[in-house]
DNA sequence: TCCCAGGTAGATC
DNA sequence: GATCTACATGGG
């Protein structure tokens, strides 16, 4: 058992799990949390001093330290973001300990394809169904069976109709395509530039700008991305509409495009855009 | 019954 | 290049 005494200013698991970036985890009331990554899971006990990871030190360093993005200096990044916009001071302070998880790339691709036009509880349900039906049983904690998320190989056997039977609706064809694409991958996507990676991902049918940005941010650790969904659009227009309009060829247009909001976010927040986006998302949800 | 939910592709102008 | 709409399903 690895005792890691880490304060909640640096790591706040409750806030991370509620931040909308991760869909597979368990909260054990009054005791702690279960985190899941590939074929690994860990029970993280919460006490007044901090967190205790119920795993070896080796596993903590090799898996959970990376998953939780603990190497990155969020204090420095938070200050950069506040310098860009002082209005985020309060939400960053209240959301202290939030981090961008580095999750499984295939899981992110599938999860965010599923996410289109679905509420967060519905996404969790569909994604968990997939894990229960096609993942592997990897553990048993506090009466909960823990499943891994299926790999592309696990899902290779499924037809489009199988996904429809599982209530994925029109996303069925997209899921089928994404699995096929993943099976046929023959190069290391991690070595690609942001632009090339984006180009590859967006070539999958059913994968557009928003899903690509989420996969790049939460799966590939590309923090220079700024996903625009309905929430972000509302928040960004509320905070920056006049500034965004100044950048447009025709500042009088009725509808501002997602890509224009994305450009502004990337320009303003640069390498911290992905993290800024999480704070903005939280800022908007609390209005 | 109607409307919306962490969107996207395809048609149309 | 901008705008409109169908696409499945579930929940309020």
Residues 146-165 of chain A: which lie with beta carbon within 7 Å of strand C? 164
Residue A83's domain spans which residues?
72-96+223-287
For the record, the structure tokens of A26 come out as: 């368990």
Q: How far apart are CA A9 and CA A75, in angstroms?
A: 9
Q: What is the pLDDT of residues A85-124, one digit of tens each?
A: 999 999 999 999 999 999 999 999 999 999 999 999 999 9
Same domain, A84 and A184: no
Statement to judge: residues A149 and A229 lie in one domain: no
Q: What is the CATH number of the domain that holds A34?
A: 3.30.310.260
Contact between the CB of A267 and strand C at under 7 Å = no
Does the pTM exceed 0.95? yes
In strand B, the nucleotides that come within 7 Å of a protein beta carbon are 5-10
Question: Which of these three, A218, A245, A263, is where a domain ends?
Answer: A218
Q: Where does a domain end: A218, A243, A266?
A: A218
Strand C contact residues in chain A (159-218), C-beta within 7 Å? 164, 167, 169-170, 172
Return the closest-CA partner of residue A128 out of A166, A162, A101. A166
CATH number at residue A202: 1.10.340.30
What confidence score (pLDDT) does residue A274 get? 98
Which nucleotides of chain C are near protein (any atom < 7 Å from a CB)?
A: 2-4, 7-11
Q: Spell out the per-residue pLDDT of chain A, length 287, in tens.
A: 777 777 888 999 999 999 999 999 999 999 999 999 999 999 999 998 889 999 999 999 999 999 999 999 999 999 999 999 999 999 999 999 999 999 999 999 999 999 999 999 999 999 999 999 999 999 999 988 999 999 999 999 999 999 999 999 999 999 999 999 999 998 899 999 999 999 999 999 999 999 999 999 999 999 999 999 989 999 999 999 999 999 888 888 888 999 999 999 999 999 999 999 999 999 988 77
Q: Are residues A120 and A158 in the same domain?
A: yes
Do A148 and A184 share a domain, yes or no?
yes
Q: Residues near chain B (nucleic strand), Cβ < 7 A?
A: A 19-21, 115-120, 122-123, 170, 202, 204-212, 227, 229-232, 277, 281
If asked whether residues A55 and A22 sit together in one domain, one would say yes
């Amino acid at each position: 058992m690895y005792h890691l005494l880490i304060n909640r200013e640096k790591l706040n698991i409750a806030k991370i799990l509620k931040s909308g970036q991760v869909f597979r985890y368990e909260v054990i009331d009054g005791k702690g949390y279960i985190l899941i990554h590939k074929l690994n899971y860990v029970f993280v006990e919460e006490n007044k001093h901090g967190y205790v990871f119920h795993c070896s030190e080796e596993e903590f360093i090799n898996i959970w330290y990376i998953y939780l993005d603990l190497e990155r200096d969020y204090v420095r990044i938070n200050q950069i973001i506040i310098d860009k916009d002082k209005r985020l001071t309060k939400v960053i302070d209240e959301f202290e300990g939030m981090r961008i998880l580095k999750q499984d790339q295939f899981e992110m691709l599938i999860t965010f394809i599923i996410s289109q036009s679905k509420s967060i509880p519905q996404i969790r349900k569909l994604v968990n169904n997939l894990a229960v039906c096609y993942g592997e049983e990897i553990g048993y904690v506090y009466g909960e069976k823990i499943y891994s998320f299926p790999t592309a190989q696990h899902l290779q056997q499924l037809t489009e109709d199988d996904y429809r039977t599982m209530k994925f609706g029109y996303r069925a064809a997209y899921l089928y395509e994404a699995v096929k694409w993943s099976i046929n991958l023959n190069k290391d996507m991690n070595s690609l530039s942001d632009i090339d990676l984006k180009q590859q991902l967006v070539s999958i049918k059913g994968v557009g700008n928003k899903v690509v940005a989420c996969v790049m941010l939460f799966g590939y650790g590309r923090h220079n991305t700024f996903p625009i969904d309905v929430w972000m659009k509302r928040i960004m227009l509320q905070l920056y509409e006049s500034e965004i309009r100044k950048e447009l060829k025709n500042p009088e247009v009725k509808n501002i495009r997602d890509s224009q909001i994305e450009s502004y976010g990337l320009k303003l927040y640069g390498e911290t855009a992905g993290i800024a986006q999480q704070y903005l998302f939280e800022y908007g949800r609390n209005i």
